[in-house]
Amino acid sequence: MSDHLLTTRGFTRDAAVRLLDLAEDMADTQQRQVKKLPTLRGTTVVNLFFEDSTRTRISFEVAAKRLSADVITFSAKGSSVSKGESLQDTAQTLQAMGADGIVMRHPSSGAAHVLATSGWTRAGVVNAGDGTHEHPTQALLDAFTIRRRRDGDDSRGRDLAGLRVVIVGDVLHSRVARSNLWLLTALGASVRLVGPPTLLPAHVEGWPVTTGIDLDEAIADGPDVVMMLRVQRERMTEAFFPSAREYARLYGLSVARADALPSTSLVMHPGPMNRGLEIAGAVADSPRSTVLEQVQNGVAVRMAVLYDVLAGERA
């Protein structure tokens, strides 16, 4: 039982495995004739999205509804919030309205942490992405997807010991990369970050990872998983890289690069993809790609997280 889910940093192996197992149980219920569970009946979950993210918002909405929670979705863009209302006022308003859980996407790193520790609300807080900091449910669904591909029906109780993962691209601005590196290493995997020096954080000595600037070298090592990060085209105007063409040539997962991987290696992408930039369309659609499974598994994983944060007594 957790009060909040803000980060994957500090997860123990056992806590991570337990949450993934819970997600397996949730996934099982989604194979039933009646998919809706009464678990969170009477619980109010607010989806508070200060940033557009249709897929994450819908995934959380479906997860909460499958658990019978009352779901209020609040897209803060264009609301009073964008007219200067502070996070404090929004949080206190939601508290007054009786929110038990707040799922928040926010452009500012640490916003979920501030919401959870401020005392403005007693609601359980689930971080659905905070700035360039973390996106813990994405990491959980990625780990869940890898484990299912690796161990199938026999996934429960297992970690990812020995798994070798390469995360490629704009690590500097990626909350997905941060949450994944903490979670995957907690589960026993080794993680290598690969990208242009301009898009790798300057000081990652404290991270349990290796870094590199050569994708072909990383692929020649035969990793079990290659996780491609979305590259935003705006980065070009900020001189992080000169052109889409050169980026794709250096760091894009082309068909040739994918063919150089061991046949069992997985290719992952958190979406939405820039086909032809960080990943070739044919690779994204190939059997080794888990892109659609990641989306599917998102609901079960988020059901598990909502259950974990909201089902029991609150501190």
Partner 1 sequence: MTLITGAALADGTSTDLRVADGTVVGLGRLTREPGERVLDADGLLLLTGLVDLHTHLRQPGGEGAETVLTGSRAAAAGGYTAVHAMPNTVPAADTAGVVEQVAALGEEAGYVDVRPVGAVSKGREGRELAELVSMARSRARVRLFSDDGSCVADPLLMRRALEYARIVDGVIAQHAEEPRLTAGAQLHEGAVAADLGLKGWPAVAEEAIIARDALLAESTGARLHVCHVSTAGSVDVRRWAKARGVRITAEVTPHHLWLTDEAARGYDPRFKVNPPLRTDDDVQALRAALADGTIDAVATDHAPHPAEAKRSEWSAAAMGMVGLETAVLVVQAAVVDTGLMGWPEVELAMSRRPAAIGGLTGAAQAVQVGRPADLVLLDPSHRRVLDTTHLAGRSTNSPFLGRSLPGRVVATLFRGVPTVLDGAVRAPEELTAGW
Partner 2 sequence: MRTLLQADDVRRAITRMAHELLEHDPDVDRLVLLGIPTRGAVLARRLGEQMTRIAGRPVPVGVLDVTLYRDDLAGQPTRATRRTDVPVDLDGAVVVLVDDVLYSGRTVRAALDAVTAIGRPAVVRLAVLVDRGHRQLPVRPDSVGRNLPSAKTERVRVLLAEVDGEDAVTIEDGDAA
Which of the residues are catalytic?
55-56, 83, 105, 135
For residues 294 and 198, give the distance between their C-alpha atoms in angstroms, rounded to a whole number: 28
In angstroms, give the least distance from the CB of 113 to partner 1: 5
For residues 216 and 239, give the distance between their C-alpha atoms in angstroms, rounded to a whole number: 23
* Cβ–Cβ < 8 Å for 231, 278: yes
161 exposure class (CB count in 10 Å sphere: 0-12, 13-18, 19+): exposed
In angstroms, give the least distance from the CB of 27 to partner 2: 11
Kindly tell me which of 256 and 311 has the beta carbon lying closer to partner 2.
311
* Cβ–Cβ < 8 Å for 146, 163: yes
Kindly tell me which of 133 and 147 has the beta carbon lying closer to partner 1.
133
217 near partner 2 (CB under 8 A):
no
Q: Residue numbers of the site for partner 1 (CB under 8 A)?
A: 9, 86-88, 106-111, 113-114, 117-118, 130-134, 175, 178, 201-207
In angstroms, give the least distance from the CB of 161 to partner 1: 24
Q: Site residues for partner 2, window 62-101 (CB under 8 A)?
A: 67
Tokens of 16: 């991570």
25 near partner 2 (CB under 8 A):
yes
For residues 211 and 215, give the distance between their C-alpha atoms in angstroms, rounded to a whole number: 11
308 near partner 2 (CB under 8 A):
yes
CA dist list (Å): 240 to 152, 170, 174: 40, 9, 14
132 interface partner picked from partner 1, partner 2, none, CB below 5 to 8 A per type: partner 1
For residues 266 and 264, give the distance between their C-alpha atoms in angstroms, rounded to a whole number: 6
The binder of partner 2 chosen from 9, 13, 15, 29 (CB under 8 A): 29
| Alpha-helical runs (H) found in 85-159 | 87-96, 111-117, 136-151
Kindly tell me which of 130 and 159 has the beta carbon lying closer to partner 1.
130
In angstroms, give the least distance from the CB of 28 to partner 2: 6
Chain residues binding partner 2 by CB under 8 A are 1, 18, 21-22, 24-26, 28-29, 32-39, 41-43, 67, 156, 307-308, 311-313
